[in-house]
Structure 1
Amino acid sequence: MDDDSAEIELLEQNLNKTRLISQRMTSILTSFDSRLVKLEKSILPLYTSTQKLKLRAGNIDRALLKIDEVASSQEGVAVEEALILRGPQPGQLDEYKDGLERLNAAIAFKASAEDSRDTARLVETGAKKLTQLYTKLVAEGSSGSPSLGLEFTPPTFPPSLLASLRPLVAFLRTLPLPSTHPSHPAAPGILATLKEAQRGYADMRGNWNRRGLEMHGKRVVDRAETLDGVEAGREFGRWVDHLLGVAEMEYTLLADLVPLTSGVVLASTYDTLLAPLLSLFTDTLSSLTSIIKRSLHKYTFLALSTYSSLSALQTRWEVLLTRRASAGATNELRDGLSAIRAVCLRSFPEFLADLKMAAMGKGGEMSTGLADFTVTTVEYMNRIPEVQEAVGSALVGLGDGNWKMGDGKQVGKGGKSGGDVNGQIVMEHYIYDVVTTVLASLTTVSRTQRRGAFGSIFLLNNVSYFRDQVDRQPWNPCRPSLLSKPTQDVLSSALRTAKAAYFDSNFSALMQTLSEDSREKVGGSAWKAGVKEKFTRFYDLLEEVKERHRLVRVLEEDGEGREKVGEEVVKLVVPVLQRFTQKQREKEFSKSEWLYIKLSAEEVETQIKSFYK
């Protein structure tokens, strides 16, 4: 038991020693850990700085290696010079570009200013050699004869040349310029070289496209004198449309193929390219305008159709203007439209003046057929719907009623502004004045004839034809829309008046011959002689009418109307003859009446109807 207690006591003592040692070790380790933490905090900034220094040291080593590489390459500058001076050879463009890139790199790392200047001159020479190749390729794509066919074919750039040009242009755009490499000695010279090449591109493309359009423009002008006016104007519009199409296509090509693409330089280059095309447009329109002015009454619809065609192209032309360096300074289409518009404005009062003049100096015997100015006016009115928009616009600009020169109004004065007037209404007013002027001139001409009967036939023929063509049976389905109610009433009234004049001058004498004189004593010798004289006179006058209608035709252009007039004459004459004949027979004016009644009423009717077959 004592031994066990002793061992336990010894064990407790050892345990206490062990615990004491553990506590001391824990204290020492804790202190060591704290010192390590403090050490780590102290060393971490130094470690970070050391890493950055290592990275910089690595970069410096790599840069030195590159510098050594570039420096070593300068030993072959003589070889590069020979390559550059020889110029880019076929199939060796990449090699040439690599040589220029090495020279540019050499300039960047050269220590000697003199060596840099020599290398810069070599770079500038290389740039000039490349632009010479560029100009040569552009010239090949802008040479030869343009399409000479009747149909216009836009000049195009050969695809094979485009394939060669695009990589060349892409490299030219990487050459050092003052804006991108302000310290590069060759940058100003390279910029001047590229500008010159770009101007050459614009000049070649502009003149090439002008040649492609010029022949077709000349053909349009030549055909204008023989082609229908409306179609000739539309043909000119199509030609201008082709010109605009070429200008639009060239702008796309310009942005793709020029080395300098900044906005100002590109717009200036486009101005140079467009100059020949715009000059051609101005010259061609001027030639067309000269033809119109030489004979305005003949080429009125050429002027109106041209004005209409050009007006429709204004929006596209405005887009073209915005791409030019001189946008807003000159608008060739607007100037051309102003010139054509002035001619169109002249045409309306001059047309009315020509209609008035048609009634002058037509005295004496003349044809009873259609007057030239009647046919011309019908054609004029039936062509208006084809250029209706242009006519309405021009008339509104002229001013409502200002086409009546000499009637108290002057062209260009009075009337409402274009924004306040409906073009359709103004056209109706103008058509009304045209119709009334034609009718007045026809009436004047008919009255100047020495024989009134022929004058009345002339008036009936012309008024009937005029009314039928512009109102009842217009050649153009759109025609009735331009005839206002007053205009239609004037035409109907004029036809009634013309018919009345025709009946009066040709058949009133017949009916007057059969009138009875109440003062004569029925059954007396004087009465019988008078009746016999009336019958004789009636058939003599009927023979004169027959002869007159054999010489001239009534309503030759209108079979239906002619037949209707014949029926009206029959209803006018035959009943009077029947009543007079019946009455005189009842009174036994003669035992040999067959000597005086040469034709029965039925035979007279047949004869009258024969006048109109």
Structure 2
Amino acid sequence: MIARRAAHAEESAEVEVLFANVKKMKAVTKKIEASMARLDQSGRTVQEAIGPVYGNTQRLQTQNANIDRIQEAIDKLREPLDMRDREERILRSRPDRVGLQEYISSIDRTSQALRNLRSSNMRSNQQAILELSGLLQIGTENLEGVFRDMLREDSQPIEPLKQITTGKDYPRISSSKSGQLRTINQHIANYASQATRQGELPPSAKVYAHERGQYIMLSLQNLATASKSTARKVDASAIYRQGSNGIGSYAQGLQGMYTAEYDNICHIFSRDEWGTVLQATCQTSLTAFSSTLRDLDAHVRENMLTDCYLSYEIIEVVSGMSHQLESKTGELKHALSEAMRPVRETAKSSLSFLLNDTRTKIQQMQALPLMTAYLPPLSSIMRSLGDGGWSAPSATSSSTSIPTVKSFDVGADGLQLFTHYAADTLDTLLAALEARARSLLRGRSLQGVFLANNVCVAERMIRNSELDHLLSAAQPKLDAWRKKATQSYIDAWKEPSTHLLDVQFTAKAPRPPSTGAAVDSGAILKALNSKDKDGIKEKFRNFNASFDDLVAKHKAYKMEAEVRRALGRDVQNFIEPLYNRFWERYHEVDKGKGKYVKYDRQQMASALAGLGDVLGARGIGGKGVEEVVGMVEGPGESEQEGKARRRSEQAEVDKVLRRKSDGLVR
């Protein structure tokens, strides 16, 4: 019990202590609350007192920052004005006085200042912008002058004939000077990009095109003059000789100078400017070149018969030059094509012109061998006309003609088209010769000889010329004309053949075999009455007279050796079978006395074989197409001598054609 009371007493004491501590805590809490209230009141009082001071401080800081920025802006406004005075002294001086590099650096600084002013977009800067722009324009113009002077140092006209004959390179601007020109051009272009319209050349490009364009034109001036002067010949009737005109040298010089100029341009201008600058630089010389081609074209049109070959040469030369420049520069193809257009149209019309002249004057057989020297341009022309287009009426005015489907056949074989044209020319020539023979020569036999001579000579000329491997297509037409000539000649031999025909009455007696078995002439004659025998005698007599007359005429004709042999064989093949049959049946009519039967089989064979004997002929040699067309020149003779000889031969042939005496040419 006592222990329990002691424990309760101890616990009571502890509770009293706790209550005492709680009271103390409450008292401390009240004191803290009172202190917090006083502190809060003091904070509000401090805030109310310090707030205006802090706001004023922030405003002052903002004002100070604005003042600093305004000061900076004022400094920037003053800076262009300050640098303008400094740069103006440099830019208004000549670049050679202050040094090119310093002058360019001043332009760079001025350009940068101008960009800064424009980006500020402040109205107060407008006057400064105008002043700096004017100053920059002055500096750019002075740079243009330096650019021009540097170009002129290397733009003295040259004589391209020296490069053409020696094979040396055409002069180019040195690499060191090209570097300076490139730097100047870049600075001029930077200013020009702000001042020029889109598509317009920068000032430096205009300067370059003018200075170098004049240099090229003046350098080529003598070649242009030579091209026009060499077109005129001493003998106006002389045929144009390949390479005798100066257009080849002119084109070669043009190509060389353009190629060199393109290299210069590539070292000075930017890649996107190369083409336009080259076109502008070459424009003046291209205009002069076009004028020269027009003059040559007028000359060709006035002398189409003799100088149409010059137009073919021009097309070949200019096309080759255009292709080379296109592969090198990628430019000028269209301009050169336009310059060549009149010549090309004239060349097209020349094909039909030559055919028409062949038809009317029989003078153009010479065209074919000459044309083989111009196969590339002729192939191009003929492809544009289409197969047979040279015979169409529109071929003479192809500039206004409507294109045909054939004219778009770019895959056509130009060589084959030329063979077709050559075959048409031969056909036209022989047709014209036949027409002239019909009007001037009496008798189909003589006309046939004349035509056969011309076919033979034409074929021989083909075999002995560049046409030999080209004109296989013409052989069928030649064969057709040869056959026609043979038929005309054989017509005369139909008269003696009519005397070798007889009438057989098979109802009276068995018909004797005509071939393959012996014929009893005596038995056949014995079966005839005296009137029929007299008829047989008359047939032999008439045949002999007609045959002897034709043999004499045959030997008197002036035939080519090949023609004489061929016609002799044709006559033999025609007459001999008929005569042999008639002789076998009736040769006993004069019992071997030869009064009526003048030729036996062997004698007839010998007489007919003699028709092809060239040595036995009394003629002096065939007069054929050589004399008519005047194609072949004598060995070692000059052009004038050849022309005189051909005129003499033409006069002789005209006499031969007009000579009519029983259908014989003696």
1:607 to 606, 610, 629: 610
Q: Does 1:458 pair with 2:460? A: no
2:380 is equivalent to residue 418 of structure 1? no
CA contact (8 A) 2:369 2:467 kept: no
2:300 matches 1:292: yes
Q: 1:230 & 1:139 partners in 2: Cα distance?
A: 35
Counterpart for residue 443 of structure 1 = 434
* AA matched with 1:150: I
In structure 1, what is the equivalent of residue 21 of structure 2? 11
1:280 Cα shift? 0.7
What is the CA RMSD across the aligned residues, in angstroms? Answer: 6.8
Specify the alignment match of 2:647 in structure 1: none
Which of the numbers 487, 510, 521 marks the counterpart of 1:500? 487
Residue 97 of structure 1 corresponds to 104
Which residue is equivalent to 1:202?
A: 209
Shift of 1:288: 1.2
Alpha-carbon distance in 2 for matches of 1:118, 1:305: 61
* 8 A Cα contact 2:497 2:543, kept in partner: no
The answer as to whether partners of 1:134 and 1:165 remain within 8 angstroms in 2 is: yes
Larger Rg: 2
Question: 154-163 or 56-65, which moves further after superposition?
Answer: 56-65
Does 1:167 find its partner at 2:183?
yes
- 1:401–1:430 contact (8 Å) kept in structure 2: no
Distance across 2 between alignment mates of 1:243 and 1:40: 92
Q: Deviations over 1:29-64 (max 9, x none)?
A: 999999999999999999998887666555555566
Q: Distance in 1 between matches of 2:247 and 2:584?
A: 69
Contact 2:500 / 2:582 at 8 angstroms: preserved in 1? yes
Q: Any gaps of 5 or more consecutive residues in structure 2?
A: 1-9, 118-123, 197-201, 234-238, 326-330, 410-416, 504-524, 617-666
Query: Distance between the aligned counterparts of 1:200 and 1:170, measured in 2?
Result: 14
Distance 1:84 1:179 in 2: 20
**Shift of residue 291, structure 1, vs aligned partner:** 2.2
Corresponding position of 2:160:
147
Which residue pairs with 1:337 in the alignment? 341
In the alignment, which residue of structure 2 is the partner of 1:186? none
Shift of 1:249: 3.8
Deviation at 1:500, TM superposition (A): 0.2
- 1:553 aligns to 2:560 (yes or no): yes
| Unmatched runs of 5 consecutive residues or more in structure 1 | 181-193, 318-322, 325-329, 360-371, 405-410, 557-561
1:571 to 570, 573, 586: 573
8 Å CA contact 2:315, 2:344 repeated in 1: yes
2:591 to 579, 585, 589: 589
Partner amino acid, structure 1, of 2:491:
D
Q: Does 1:390 align with 2:381?
A: yes
Aligned equivalents of 2:44 and 2:250: distance in 1? 96
Q: Is the 8 A contact 2:251 2:321 kept in 1?
A: no
Q: Aligned to 2:288, which of 280, 283, 288?
A: 280
Question: 1:142 Cα deviation (Å)?
Answer: 2.0
2:361 equivalent among 353, 358, 364: 358
The amino acid of 1:590's aligned partner reads G
Letter of the structure 1 residue corresponding to residue 185 of structure 2 = V
What CA distance in whole angstroms lies between the structure 1 residues aligned with 2:49 and 2:570? Answer: 136
Deviation sequence 1:221-260 (CA, Å, 0-9, x none): 56778766799899699669949966994996699289xx
Identity score, percent = 15
CA distance in 1, matches of 2:45, 2:571: 143
- AA at the equivalent of 2:591: F
User: 2:174 corresponds to which residue?
Assistant: 158
Aligned residues: 542
User: Which 10-residue stretch deviates more, 21-30 or 132-141?
Assistant: 21-30
* Amino acid across the alignment from 1:418: I
CA distance in 2, matches of 1:344, 1:422: 18
Aligned to 2:652: none
Q: Give the distance between the partners of 1:34 and 1:236, measured in 2 at CA.
A: 108
After alignment, is 65-74 or 153-162 more displaced? 65-74
Counterpart-to-counterpart distance in 1, 2:252 and 2:368: 30
Indicate conservation of the 8 Å contact 1:532/1:596, yes or no. Answer: no
Q: Is the 8 A contact 1:210 1:280 kept in 2?
A: yes
1:185 match: none
Instruction: Say if 1:82 and 1:412 are closer, same or farther in 2 by CA, change over 3 A.
Output: closer
Q: Which sits farther off after the overlay, 507-516 or 41-50?
A: 41-50
Deviation at 1:418, TM superposition (A): 1.6
Q: Contact (CA 8 Å) 1:570, 1:609: kept in 2 or not?
A: no
- Aligned pairs for 1:243-254 within 5 A: 249=262
Whole-angstrom CA distance in 2 between matches of 1:46 and 1:586: 166
Report the 3-state secondary structure (helix = DSSP H, G, I; strand = E; otherwise coil) of the residue aligned with 1:445.
helix
Whether the 8 Å CA contact 2:228–2:295 is kept in 1: the answer is: yes
Q: CA shift at 1:581, angstroms?
A: 4.2
In 2 relative to 1, CA 588–450 (structure 1 residues): closer, same or farther, beyond 3 Å? closer
Answer yes or no: is the 8 Å Cα contact 1:237–1:310 preserved in 2.
Answer: no
Q: 2:642: which partner in 1?
A: none
Judged with a 3 Å threshold, the aligned counterparts in structure 2 of structure 1 residues 564 and 524 are, in CA distance, closer, same or farther, namely closer
Does the aligned pair in 2 maintain the 1:292–1:302 contact within 8 Å? yes
1:26-105 alignment, distance < 5 Å: 59=69, 81=89, 85=93, 87-88=95-96, 92-99=99-106
Change (3 A) 1:419 1:231: farther
On the 8 A contact 2:290/2:340 being kept in 1, the answer is yes
Paired residues of 1:88 and 1:130 also in contact (CA < 8 A)? no
TM-score, normalised with respect to structure 1: 0.61
CA 1:339/1:116 → structure 2, altered by over 3 Å: closer, same or farther? closer
Q: How far apart, in 2, do the equivalents of 1:69 and 1:528 lie? A: 139
State the AA in 1 paired with 2:360. Answer: M
- Cα-to-partner distance string for 1:320-366 (whole Å, 9 max, x where unaligned): xxx99xxxxx999658635763x45764664454234327xxxxxxx
- 1:135 is aligned to 2:148: yes
- In structure 2, distance between residues paired with 1:48 and 1:332: 79
1:442·1:459 contact (CA, 8 Å) conserved in 2? yes
CA distance in 1: counterparts of 2:347 and 2:84, whole angstroms: 75
Call closer, same or farther: CA 1:33–1:384 in 2, change over 3 Å.
Answer: farther
Q: What is the aligned counterpart of 1:402 among 393, 398, 406? A: 393
Give distance in 2, aligned partners of 1:252 and 1:60: 50
Change in 2 beyond 3 A, CA 1:135/1:48: farther
Alpha-carbon distance in structure 2 between the residues aligned to 1:533 and 1:176: 106
- Over 3 Å counting, the alpha-carbon distance change for 1:27 and 1:249 in structure 2 is farther
Offset of 1:145 from its aligned partner?
1.3
